[in-house]
Amino acid sequence: MSNNGDDRARGLLDLPKGRVEMRFSGKAVLVTGVASGLGRAVVQALATEGAKLVLVDRAEEKLETLVANLQSGGCEVVSIVGDVSQEQTSKDAIAQALSRYGTLDILINNAGINPTGTISQTDPAVWQQALDVNLKAAYLFCREAIPHMVDAGRGVIVNTASIAGQRASTAEAVYGVSKAGLIMLTRTIARDYGARGIRANAICPGVLEGIMADRLTRMSPDQVVARDQRFAPTVPLGRLGTYEEIAKSILFLASEDASYVNGAQLTVDGGLTA
């Protein structure tokens, strides 16, 4: 990699130093749910590998901070503040990608929420909101992006699902249902559009050290510690996963390293569901 590339990587906060593989150089990548957690880790990893980014989140202040950080390191990036479950947000985001970069090579549907509770404990409004953010939003962004990918004869879609969508988890009724639906949406796209040059895959993380932002607001620091201590011993690797580890797997699916991977559910859970 050139010295300019090295300087660019060093300019990005919290990113690995040294030689960085540039699998996404010149690629236009749209990522939703980027202001914190896994989405932020994915965006930072993409930036080190040369991606041109379109970022979508509803947390305006955090999004602005992330964009400024990326731009200071030389990354090409534009952003959209909006609710991913609203159709106009997907239209605006794809339009921004096409206007700025002339193409959209990769779509990563990462936005999600994690309300907890059994069926009887889940209010209908909460149920609908989880389906809208976790499943409908991915449908809207895929629906808007796929025609452009078909015209280009290529494209990659990665959807952030969960092991909760593969097997039932206690008191995560609507979360599990929404993620199971997302896995099936991914497989449907893979089946319908593979012959048009589009790959679609789902990443299924296990229990991570970080906690999704919406759930963290409902937990005290002591509850977070207790949660980590409870789950870590159940994982065969003996620890919880990190956002950075999941991000690496997402980048694998998005890259040409996974050129023959289509319709897959990549489980990254330290062996928890083995």
Contacts of 265 (CB under 8 A, 6+ apart): 161, 166, 183, 186, 201, 202, 204
Pairing mode of beta strands 106-109, 155-160: parallel
Map residue 155 onto helix, strand or coil: strand
| Residue 155 falls in which region: left (phi positive, over 0), alpha (psi -120 to 50) or beta | left
Rounded Cα gap, residues 242 and 246, in angstroms:
7
Map residue 255 onto helix, strand or coil: coil
Our measurement of the distance from residue 153's CA atom to the centroid of its chain's CA atoms, rounded to an integer in Å, reads 23
Residue type, 185: L
pLDDT at 215: 65
Per-residue model confidence as pLDDT tens for the chain (274 residues): 334 444 333 345 554 455 568 999 999 999 999 999 999 999 999 999 999 999 999 999 999 999 999 999 999 999 999 999 999 999 999 999 999 999 999 999 999 999 999 999 999 999 999 999 999 999 999 999 999 999 999 999 999 999 999 999 999 999 999 999 999 999 999 999 999 999 999 999 999 998 776 665 677 787 778 878 898 999 999 999 999 999 999 999 999 999 999 999 999 999 999 9
Count of Cβ atoms closer than 10 Å to residue 27 Cβ: 22
Pairing mode of beta strands 106-109, 52-57: unpaired
pLDDT at 5: 40
Q: Which residues are catalytic?
A: 175
Domain 25-268, architecture per CATH: 3-Layer(aba) Sandwich (3.40)
pLDDT at 221: 80
pLDDT at 216: 59
DSSP secondary structure of 68-119: HHHHHTT--EEEEES-TTSHHHHHHHHHHHHHHHS---EEEE-------B-T
Is-contact 127 231, C-beta < 8 A? no
The domains of the chain are located at 25-268
| pTM of structure | 0.91
